[in-house]
Amino acid sequence: MKKIILILLTIIHISCQNSNKYYVVTEGILIENITIISTDESGKIENYTGNILTDNTKIIYSGKDIPIIRGSFKTIDGQGKYAIPGLIDSHVHLNNIAGINFRQRKSNEILVKEYFARLPKNFLYFGYTTLIDVDNYAANTIKRLKKIRIRPEIYTCAKKVQVMDDFEMFMNESPQNERYESSFLYDKYNGNIKFPDSIDLEKHSVNNIISNIAQDDNICIKILYEDASSGFKQIWELPTSEIMKDLVTEAHKEGLLVIMHATSYEGQKFAVETGIDIIAHAMWNWTAIPQDYLNTNIPESHKKLLLDIANKRIGYQPTIRTILAEKDILEGSFKDKEILKLLYTPKYLEWLLSEDAQWSRNRILARPKFLEQMNPEFFVPIRSQFNSDEEMFEELYKSFELKIQKVMNLLSENNANFLFGTDNGAMNMYTHPPGYNGYLEMQHWVDAGVPLKQIFKAATYNNAKEFDLIESIGTINTGKTANILILNSNPLETIEAYNDIQFVLINGDLIEREKLSSNYEEK
Ligand SMILES: [Zn+2]
């Protein structure tokens, strides 16, 4: 009798509380009794035990109460587990291949195919449900990736905007006629650059460039600023601050964000002065003075600038992998990592061990000679401090890492607007394995002293907010896309939680992590 009364009371209680509130689902998933870690719409991290209900591609409920459901759904017991929003990597290069350079693609078609077939699953395996390609120079690759059903969401910035004779045209040694035929930006404020009369400069005006970009699906544009602190003799053209301000104004009118690749103090100062939205890469080049190049005492001017970047809430993508992926190549043990077996096909792994795949190492090792010839005034004073190239490399990478860590510390203490990004695929180096690279990047942030809460926010809410995607992703809230990770450990307690994923929910599809590995496909 007692039992019956209790049951009756419970039923009455539920129906009173939710008298007319129930959820009708056709393909629902109820995640019960799980620790939900997410951010509220103002950016505050919430951490509570609750329930999540999804239907098809959307989250239709999240909260402490148990929802009443009608229709067809399955239940996941979330006890002892953690639900977080799917991760966002806001700096990737999807058409670059980790391990195969552009010249090698034609003769390795099968490997290329296998790499791209694994790409979406590799990102999902490490919980990346949204990717932003910051330089969509190969629209067909993006289109092909978007046709795959189970994959991360993909957003793009337009193909990089370049002023005539910029750093990249100079580095690629692209022929003059090719430069004129490119969709370069005409910097009318820079009198150094001369054009033949045959070129219609109006086609290359800020207005024209931006309106062309805005016609496509892009959400951002990327531009480049590299100066002499990169170690090269600066004989290329930099954008003027006038043209940059024009570009930013026009881009904002079209709702496009502006990302600037700027790794130096001068570059980041320029970015702040011209109203750039997002700075790509940590400030790892502090000076062009060779005697001072390895000095890791952060100057007052640099501190002041970083404080300004933090206070102005400018988006900041440290992408530590850009540097440390090179260091990993020189160390040479990366390709032996067990984890790669879960990401790549046996054939691809075999390739990574082949002689042909060592081109990236050779390219890094060739740099001293190149710099010595091209810019001896800069190179010789640095090289003379060391007995060998190896010793120099070791100290250089150590100093880069330390500089990045100091920069991130200062930004972190001042609650900067960190945006999580990896520079995945940079220079086609094999030490950028899709997905796993994000996990490595996170570990670098921990090493730099960034608190776990900031890392969590940078990879979820901050990215979604900055790129204006917060309406649909970045938090676990009603109405958002069902991109959710179910973790076995707490990401606010250990970074390893991001490699301890049980399920990935992508666009409402529930996938066991194991099924995303390359091992699984073989069975
Ligand atoms: Zn990049």
| Residue 393's CATH number | 3.20.20
Q: 134: closest CA among 281, 313, 309? A: 281
Distance 490 CA to ligand 1 centre (A): 30
> Which position has the token pair 């080049």?
285
Distance 416 CA to ligand 1 centre (A): 20
Q: What is the dihedral of CA 253, 257, 261, 267, to 10 degrees?
A: 50
**Is 118 a domain residue?**
yes
Q: Is the Cβ–Cβ distance between 21 and 60 less than 8 Å?
A: no
Amino acid at 11: I
For residues 70 and 24, what is the distance between their CA atoms, to the nearest angstrom? 5
Distance 465 CA to ligand 1 centre (A): 20
Distance 419 CA to ligand 1 centre (A): 13
Distance 281 CA to ligand 1 centre (A): 8
Q: 127: closest CA among 475, 369, 483? A: 483
**Is 319 a domain residue?**
yes
Distance 284 CA to ligand 1 centre (A): 14
Amino acid at 515: K
**Is 496 a domain residue?**
no
Distance 381 CA to ligand 1 centre (A): 29
**Is 276 a domain residue?**
yes
For residues 136 and 364, what is the distance between their CA atoms, to the nearest angstrom? 25
Q: Is the Cβ–Cβ distance between 89 and 132 less than 8 Å?
A: yes
Q: 204: closest CA among 193, 194, 212, 215? A: 212
Distance 311 CA to ligand 1 centre (A): 24
* Domain span holding position 100: 87-158+256-466
Helices 265-273 and 241-253 meet at what angle, rounded to 10? Answer: 50
Distance 121 CA to ligand 1 centre (A): 21
Distance 92 CA to ligand 1 centre (A): 6
pLDDT of the residue at 457:
98
For residues 285 and 43, what is the distance between their CA atoms, to the nearest angstrom? 31
pLDDT of the residue at 363:
94
Q: Quick check: helix, strand or coil at residue 102?
A: helix
Query: What tokens appear for 389 in the block?
Result: 């190239």
Distance 384 CA to ligand 1 centre (A): 31
Distance 303 CA to ligand 1 centre (A): 24
- Render the burial of 393-402: b for 16+ CB within 10 Å, e for the rest: beebbebbbe
The DSSP code for 199 is S
Distance 280 CA to ligand 1 centre (A): 7
**Is 215 a domain residue?**
no
Distance 28 CA to ligand 1 centre (A): 38
Q: Quick check: helix, strand or coil at residue 385?
A: coil
> Which position has the token pair 């370049």?
162
CA atoms within 13 A on the CB side of 288: 16
Domain count, the chain: 1
Distance 37 CA to ligand 1 centre (A): 30
Distance 167 CA to ligand 1 centre (A): 14
Distance 118 CA to ligand 1 centre (A): 21
**Is 91 a domain residue?**
yes
**Is 316 a domain residue?**
yes
Distance 135 CA to ligand 1 centre (A): 8
**Is 310 a domain residue?**
yes
pLDDT of the residue at 11:
46
Amino acid at 212: N
Q: 424: closest CA among 438, 412, 411, 413? A: 438
Distance, CA of 12 to chain centre: 50
Distance 131 CA to ligand 1 centre (A): 13
For residues 153 and 132, what is the distance between their CA atoms, to the nearest angstrom? 8
Distance 264 CA to ligand 1 centre (A): 15
DSSP letters spanning 68-88: PEEEEEEEEE-TT-EEEEPEE
pLDDT of the residue at 49:
98
Q: Is the Cβ–Cβ distance between 83 and 484 less than 8 Å?
A: yes
Length of the chain (residues): 523
Distance 41 CA to ligand 1 centre (A): 29
Distance 455 CA to ligand 1 centre (A): 20
For residues 437 and 87, what is the distance between their CA atoms, to the nearest angstrom? 13
For residues 495 and 454, what is the distance between their CA atoms, to the nearest angstrom? 12
Distance 428 CA to ligand 1 centre (A): 11
Distance 361 CA to ligand 1 centre (A): 19
Q: 480: closest CA among 124, 88, 85, 126? A: 85
Q: Is the Cβ–Cβ distance between 473 and 90 less than 8 Å?
A: no
Distance 52 CA to ligand 1 centre (A): 36
Distance 415 CA to ligand 1 centre (A): 24
Distance 93 CA to ligand 1 centre (A): 7
pLDDT of the residue at 173:
87
Close Cβ partners of 306 (under 8 Å, ≥ 6 residues apart) = 283, 407, 410, 411, 414, 416
Distance 199 CA to ligand 1 centre (A): 30
pLDDT of the residue at 13:
43
Distance 4 CA to ligand 1 centre (A): 65
pLDDT tens for each residue of the chain, 523 residues long? 455 554 544 444 444 454 568 999 999 999 999 999 999 989 999 999 999 999 999 999 999 999 999 999 999 999 999 999 999 999 999 999 999 999 999 999 999 999 999 999 999 999 999 999 999 999 999 999 999 999 999 999 999 999 999 999 988 888 999 999 999 999 999 999 889 999 999 999 999 999 999 988 999 999 999 999 999 999 999 999 999 999 999 999 999 999 999 999 999 999 999 999 999 999 999 999 999 999 999 999 999 999 999 999 999 999 999 999 999 999 999 998 999 999 999 999 999 999 999 999 999 999 999 999 999 999 999 999 999 999 999 999 999 999 999 999 999 999 999 999 999 999 999 999 999 999 999 999 999 999 999 999 999 999 999 999 999 999 999 999 999 999 999 999 999 999 999 999 999 999 999 999 998 865 4
Query: What tokens appear for 15 in the block?
Result: 């129906």
pLDDT of the residue at 125:
98
Helices 206-215 and 241-253 meet at what angle, rounded to 10? Answer: 30
Distance, CA of 477 to chain centre: 23
Close Cβ partners of 411 (under 8 Å, ≥ 6 residues apart) = 306, 309, 310, 316, 418
Q: Quick check: helix, strand or coil at residue 161?
A: strand
Distance 60 CA to ligand 1 centre (A): 36
